[in-house]
Chain A
Amino acid sequence: MSVGDVAADDRAYVSEQLIAAQPPPPEARRWSKARIAGLILLGIWTAVAAGLVLFFIREWNPSLLQRYGPRLLHGLLVTIELVGIAVIVGAALACLVGAARLSRNKFIGTFAYAYVYFFRGTPLLAQTFLVYYGAGQFRDSFEAAGLWWFFRDAFNCAALTFTLNTAAYQAEIFQGAIRGVQRGQWEGARALGLSRTVIFFKVIAPQALITALRPLGNEIIFMIKGSAIASVITVYDLMGETRLAFSRSFDFQVYLWAAGLYLILVETLRRFWDAFEARLTRHLKRAEQTPKGKRVVDTQMGA
């Protein structure tokens, strides 16, 4: 029996009898206060969900759904239309106001600041009343100017107010994002001999828009939620149809349907916006930040 054979036997013993090296077992989950509180709260949520299911089973009203379901969906379309118009026209207006905010002309800058301050400092509901009922007071002058057809319709007034409101918020987002781009970017582009327009559109705007993306998404969500206010001035958006259905049927479940629709709308937009942002900023992600890459680095360090 040679020495080499013993070593081979030992190797066989080691590989067959001993347990291979394994990661440590997961930490035992203790009954901490946080865990107990969490389970109790989850229990409450489960009870709420069960209560809702029970409520819908007991109170389920097919005729109500048949009667008001399509109207609610139509209201949802009106909401989307209202928000779409406000956000898109508002963005165009916001570019102007934002440019005015950044202007070196003191008068223009102050005027734009006053505009932004007014629309951000007062409630959307009060603004809507101001435009809708205020316009009614000046009916004669609007008729003379040939504008009455516009202000007669509550939808137009709501769309106008929301546009002016979101323009103020978006202008702040845009000008903040543009100010956030480092000076060096301007100076570098200047040194390359680019014109101001080219610098703005090719160098500054692309970087600013990336910073603006997240607050812009939040602003759209705020607008969706705020658009429910239009129902107060008799616009039949989702909220308006819901209030109408409730005032006729006195059945509370229409509010819960509307809540579901709003939540779906907002969550869809939020997820879409996250994906959109991830797509637009994909050049900023680094490959080695993935967990897999990190592990490779770790093992190399260990060796």
Chain B
Amino acid sequence: MADLFSLLSFGPDGWGDELLAGLGVTVALALVTLPVGLVLGFLLALAKDSGDRALVSASTILTTIFRGLPELLTLFIIYYGGQIALQQLFRLLFDRYIEFSSFTAGVIALSLVFASFASEVFLSAFRGIQSGQYEGSYALGLRPTSTMRLVILPQLIKLALPGLSNLWLILLKDTSLVSVIALNDLLRNTNIAVGVTKEPFFFYAVACLIYLSLSLLSSVGIGSIDRWARRGEGAR
């Protein structure tokens, strides 16, 4: 047993530093994807809520596709297909060769999936805000952008937080898929460690525990965001 744990030490013999580097990539991927997915999801929700037929159907097509496709397939399509399309485009326009990294492909694919689900969360949160809130702020003479920023968004965060935190936990787990397109995230570095040490059960269990502690840490963070979002409700 002591032998097993010595495998986790930092340094040339142990795999601790490799796993930590992988964890860094995993966290970075999730943290880069989150804002992109949130903004895109918010815009998609606005589009679906706009009532304009063309805009609604254009955004519904996007979300239907990325909600229905397996995340792994989305990743492959973006990674291989995006590569092909981008190369064709750059050869045509700039006569240059370009390649995008598996990290970029991961961010694009994961944020498209995240945004598609987040748009549904935002949409139902929008439905939870009474129209009196809009009318009241127009009556106060606020511009639509100010209405959104000062009146609607603070209430929206409160309503959307449970759904969004669920999506964040899903996103954390989905980052593991990029290990299949050769990005050195936590799971891929674990795979490498397993290949060398022939201790699959131990290393995958360690990886699972690391993912678990990530989601535990997230729940703590989400709890404090929730308290911040509800700060106007007074003590209970």
Chain A interface residues toward B at CB < 8 A: 32, 34-35, 37-39, 41-42, 44-45, 117-118, 120-127, 129-130, 133-134, 136-138, 221, 224-229, 231-232, 239, 242-243, 246, 252, 255-256, 258-259, 262-263, 266-267, 270
Contact B173 A122 (CB under 8 A): yes
Residue of B nearest to A229 (CB): B72
Residue of B nearest to A79 (CB): B70
The range of chain B's interface size is 35 or more
- B55 CB–A CB distance under 8 Å: yes
Chain B residues, CB < 8 A from A117: 212
Chain B residues, CB < 8 A from A125: 176-177, 179-180, 187
- B215 CB–A CB distance under 8 Å: yes
B70 partner, pick from A134, A137, A228, beta carbons under 8 A? A228
Contact A32 B200 (CB under 8 A): no
Q: How far is the CA of A255 from the CA of B200 in the complex (A)?
A: 31
Contact A122 B200 (CB under 8 A): no
Chain A residues, CB < 8 A from B17: none
Binds A, one of B34-42, B73-81, B151-159, B227-235: B73-81
Chain B residues, CB < 8 A from A242: 73
Q: How far is the CA of A228 from the CA of B75 in the complex (A)?
A: 12
Chain A residues, CB < 8 A from B200: 129-130, 133-134, 136-137
Chain B's nearest CB lies how many Å from the CB of A260? Answer: 10
Given A38-B52, A137-B201: A121 and B76 interface contact (C-beta under 8 Å): no
Q: How far is the CA of A270 from the CA of B191 in the complex (A)?
A: 35
Q: How far is the CA of A133 from the CA of B112 in the complex (A)?
A: 31
Known: A121-B211, A121-B216, A252-B84. 6 other contacts (CB 8 A): A37-B47, A118-B212, A120-B169, A134-B205, A242-B73, A252-B81
Chain A residues, CB < 8 A from B207: 126
- B208 CB–A CB distance under 8 Å: yes
Chain B's nearest CB lies how many Å from the CB of A211? Answer: 16
Contact B201 A134 (CB under 8 A): yes
Secondary structure type dominating chain B contacts = helix
Chain B's nearest CB lies how many Å from the CB of A113? Answer: 13
A255 partner, pick from B51, B57, B81, B205, beta carbons under 8 A? B81
- B58 CB–A CB distance under 8 Å: yes
Binds A, one of B6-14, B61-69, B94-102, B126-134: B61-69
A-B interface contact total, Cβ < 8 Å: 142
Contact A123 B176 (CB under 8 A): yes
Contact A255 B211 (CB under 8 A): no
Q: How far is the CA of A225 from the CA of B54 in the complex (A)?
A: 29
Chain A residues, CB < 8 A from B175: 123
Contact A267 B68 (CB under 8 A): yes
Contact A239 B73 (CB under 8 A): yes
Q: Enumerate the 4 nearest inter-chain pairs by beta-carbon distance, A residue then B residue, closest first.
A: A38-B55, A38-B54, A133-B200, A41-B58
Chain A residues, CB < 8 A from B137: none
- B226 CB–A CB distance under 8 Å: no
Chain B residues, CB < 8 A from A239: 70, 72-73
B72 partner, pick from A39, A45, A136, A228, beta carbons under 8 A? A228
Residue of A nearest to B205 (CB): A130
Residue of A nearest to B76 (CB): A255
- B194 CB–A CB distance under 8 Å: yes
Chain A's nearest CB lies how many Å from the CB of B134? Answer: 16
Contact A41 B176 (CB under 8 A): no
Chain A residues, CB < 8 A from B76: 243, 255
Contact B69 A127 (CB under 8 A): no
Chain A's nearest CB lies how many Å from the CB of B80? Answer: 6
Q: How far is the CA of A220 from the CA of B190 in the complex (A)?
A: 29
Contact B180 A232 (CB under 8 A): yes
Chain A residues, CB < 8 A from B84: 252
Contact A123 B211 (CB under 8 A): yes
Q: How far is the CA of A127 from the CA of B96 in the complex (A)?
A: 42
A262 partner, pick from B70, B169, B212, beta carbons under 8 A? B70
Interface string of B195-232 (1 = CB under 8 A from A): 00011110011011001100110000000000000000
